[in-house]
Amino acid sequence: MIRLILRSGAPGFAYARSAHSFVGSAPELPAVRVRSTFLDFFREKHGHLLVPSSPVRPRGDPSLLFVNAGMNQFKPIFLGRADPRSAMASYYRVVNSQKCVRAGGKHNDLEDVGRDVYHHTFFEMLGNWSFGDYFKEEACSMAWTLLTEHYGIPADRLYVSYFAGDAESGLLADKETRDIWLDIGVSPGRLLPFGLKENFWEMGDMGPCGPCTEIHYDHVGGRDASKLVNANSPDVVEIWNLVFMQYNREVDRSLRLLPQFSVDTGLGLERLVSVLQGKRSNYDTDLFTPLLRAVHQRSKVGPYSGRTGADDHGMVDTAYRVVADHIRTLSVCIADGVYPGMSGAELVLRRILRRAVRFCVEVLKAPQGTLANLVPAVVDILGDVYPELYREADRIVDIINENEAQFLSSLQQGTRLIHRTLNKMEDKHGVFPASVAWSLHRDLGFPLDLVDLMLEEQGVHVDQQELDKLKANNQKVCSDQQRGPESLLMMDVVSLAELQRLGVPHTDDSLKYQYTLERDQYVFPAYHATVLALYDGQTLVSEVVEGQRCGVILDQTCFYHEQGGQSHDQGYFTRDGLQDVLYSVEAVVQAGGYVVHQVFVADTLKTGDQVQLCLDQVHRLSCMVKHTATHILNFALREVLGPSVQQRGSHVSADRLRFDFSIKGSLSVSQLQQVENCVNNIISFNQSVHSQELPLQTAMTIKGLRTIDEVYPDPVRVVSVGVPVSELLDNQTDRLTSVELCCGTHLLQTRFIQDLVIISERQMAKGISRIVAVTGLDATRAREVGQVLSQDVESLSARLSGPPPTSIVSAQHLAKEVGVLSDAVDTTPIPQWQRRELQSQLKTLQRSSNTSIRKLETREAAVTAQAVLEKNGRKRLLVDSVETDSLSVLMKTVNQLSSISPHSYVMLLAHHGHSGKVLCACQVPKNSPSLPASDWAVAVCHHLGGSAGGSALVARGTGSSSDITGALRWAGEFARQKIQR
């Protein structure tokens, strides 16, 4: 039987389809039409605004590595933080298709991708949103109409779940939603109640939340599948979740109704397409089949056949799925400005790329470049809805190819190293040496889980206990290096003299400056060198054996040794004739003209050996960025603050820069902003960076030269920004620019810094200030997070400026929020000028909230004191219990009683409801040596199993006892005995 859907509205809304297409016939609706039908349905039929997907890098949300849900970009609306001047503040009805990545962090599907047929690292989330507009009835009706009428999904394949309530939380069942579905026509047998876990959605520990209703689809049909709903059955799957945000989860875990109700829905495109195309696997839909065909064309294995588990011989189909999924993720992330790197989201992406490359090469037998060759297919599939893929296609290809080439080189070395080690092992199925696994991770950038996987295929496993020790030792080495060069392996004076006696020439380290800029990429050539000397920590030796740590002196090196405030280079050596053995360079120092490489020896090393030098290029380039930025910062400080500013020290590492300078006081907010603007102007002008070696005396004649109080070599290296050194030397220009004596490595153009943000500025000593700054993506993140925190402070300020809290608990919650936000502002990397402004605002808010608490406590104490007096009168010994959870209120009550009756000995006890403890406070008359308040409180609280402290006049403490009446009698008797003496 053919079910005809009459056309109405825009093209794409309706089409004819066969009901049996849901059990496996050929696809009738392309994915592009599935997506557009959804978007057009809400946009044209129901007046929703089509909002483009946000980039997969979260906008100012440090809690996320990637955008992992459709609601991420709308958090400011849900949290009430949207800038009223922004377009977002005007959103009421919205529809979109959001790019999402779930890899790393809380939602991490990376390890499951390829093993089954439905997990993805990248997916699209279709969603419609109502912000204070329509609610449950309209949302359910629209969803049902779209699924059953416009997509033509048979109603007898659908099941609906709703929130059953939760007695412990005091939440009633969502009967409203249940009745709406019944009115729509859903059969009672297909309308199923579930609890908090399945049908109550929360953003986090605090914030907007509410019940949800989910629509599930039965792939089989023709049966009652209600028992399979939410039972992890692959046959019955959730396809759409409609969340009704009507509550706010408070700090104390209570729920409060939101001022406006919202709807947040999420419908996974990949899963919907599989349903509409009659497929049990997402990878069998047209979102993936063109990719799988493209992979097959370049591979040397059979076509994709959809096998999983033990049926997937050689993991061929797993590899197909991994590559098809990962190339989508890589393309989308790179188009959005997330590049493979060494930390955070960049490190996750690097891991995804390397996983895809390995499956391509080792399992699918595809040639190098296959991964990048799949990018056009991704662009064809997704480019129309995400046009940034078209714009960035060439960049995506270049970045994937560059990273693939680097990894393949490492992969070949790593594979040889694994096989070589296995051949040396007596037990071929035993424990793999942890030192080798650690070398793969540390020196070749292998994720440890990839090492485990490669070894698992060989039937061995790593000595995990030993591996944990190596991790710990590495952390210790890193911390030792941070403490200073004295913790490193340093050559003693005797060994240095021996080198000279033997005629060992000083190290030629000019190669560290030999790099070029080609097609927007820095190129660092590979170099060979000869081992001239070895130092074992005590003396010079001619040979070191495997497992030793030693100092290696070469005839030449491209490794930068720690000097001029710049961190040493990282990397490793390989020995000629033994290319798969890595000699890790842990530190590089200079001693008496010799560059000493501190090396962990992975195999025998002798003087005279030839080695290849393998520089960690990512680390080096990061240091170059920070060092050039430091020079520009030095210049900007002088431009803004005047010529009195003098450098007093600096340190450049791969992640940030530190700069110390003379100044009378801390920089103002305005000065910090001016310095940042000056630096970023120079960056945006993309000025060339020049360097030239000159005689020291000649260099010192350059106008505007910046120097610090140290001994310079002669000749000396001069580094200038924007103006060639020769022009400065010949006074051919009056232009002021950054020009310094510097031995460090630098960029060739300033644009590679991208951005600079000062994240810290404080006085280290009188007249000396220290700036810490970040660059590039770290700077961008700092600005984004600063904007988020600024919005949080504005939101909290608006709440505190409203009606004052009516209870101490609510006032304390507000004060706690101020404290939490203050901690975030104090410790999170954000622009320092913005931190200062926010700290000032938060101090004002803290004073305001503390004043509110004090007023409420004083008011409550006055009422409590009056009640105690009415009950007891002005007795000389006044011991009683009161109702309060606040020790502060208890103290204030005691103080007010003592003020009214100054000759009374007053002690009050109270049960603390939350902790179950007993609170104790007391005050005695002045000049009362027979019973000091501290003695009284200590005795009573000790009797209660607690402790106390205070002065002779006033004291307080806590204890624990269910018999507060007995405790009062004991306290009174103790006081009487003391007073009567």
Instruction: Write out the binding residues.
Output: 627, 631, 742, 746
List b or e across 497-531, with b for residues whose CB sees 16 or more CB atoms inside 10 angstroms.
ebbeeeebeebebebbeebeeeeeeeebeebebeb
8 Å CB contact between 554 and 532: yes
* CA atoms of 330 and 352, how far apart (whole Å): 8
Tell me, what amino acid is at 335? A
* DSSP state for residue 85 in the 8-state scheme: T
The SS3 assignment for 139 reads: helix
> What does the DSSP assignment read for 206-220?
SEEEEEEEEEEEESS
* CA atoms of 330 and 372, how far apart (whole Å): 10
E strand spans, 206-300: 207-218, 236-249, 255-268
8 Å CB contact between 708 and 648: yes
Tell me, what amino acid is at 418? I
* CA atoms of 890 and 896, how far apart (whole Å): 10
Judging by DSSP bridges, how do beta strands 527-535 and 610-615 pair with one another?
antiparallel
| Number of C-beta neighbours around residue 811 at 10 A | 22
| Number of C-beta neighbours around residue 925 at 10 A | 16
* CA atoms of 738 and 936, how far apart (whole Å): 71
* CA atoms of 619 and 609, how far apart (whole Å): 27
For residue 247, which phi and psi values (nearest 5 degrees)? -120, 165
Give, in order, the Cα–Cα distances in Å from 588 to each of 537, 559, 956.
14, 7, 59
List the strands of the sheet with 739-741, edge to edge.
Answer: 689-694, 716-721, 739-741
* CA atoms of 949 and 926, how far apart (whole Å): 18
- Farthest CA pair distance, the chain: 105
* CA atoms of 554 and 565, how far apart (whole Å): 23
| Number of C-beta neighbours around residue 330 at 10 A | 28
Q: Which residues are bridge partners to 50 per DSSP?
A: 95
Please, what is the angle between helix 448-456 and helix 393-424, to 10°? 50
Q: Which residues are bridge partners to 194 per DSSP?
A: 163
| Number of C-beta neighbours around residue 87 at 10 A | 10
List b or e across 618-634, with b for residues whose CB sees 16 or more CB atoms inside 10 angstroms.
bbbbbbbbbbbbbbbbb
For residue 516, which phi and psi values (nearest 5 degrees)? -135, 170
| Number of C-beta neighbours around residue 973 at 10 A | 12
The annotation places the binding site for Zn(2+) at 627, 631, 742, 746
8 Å CB contact between 588 and 597: yes
Cis peptide before 715 (omega within 30 of 0): yes
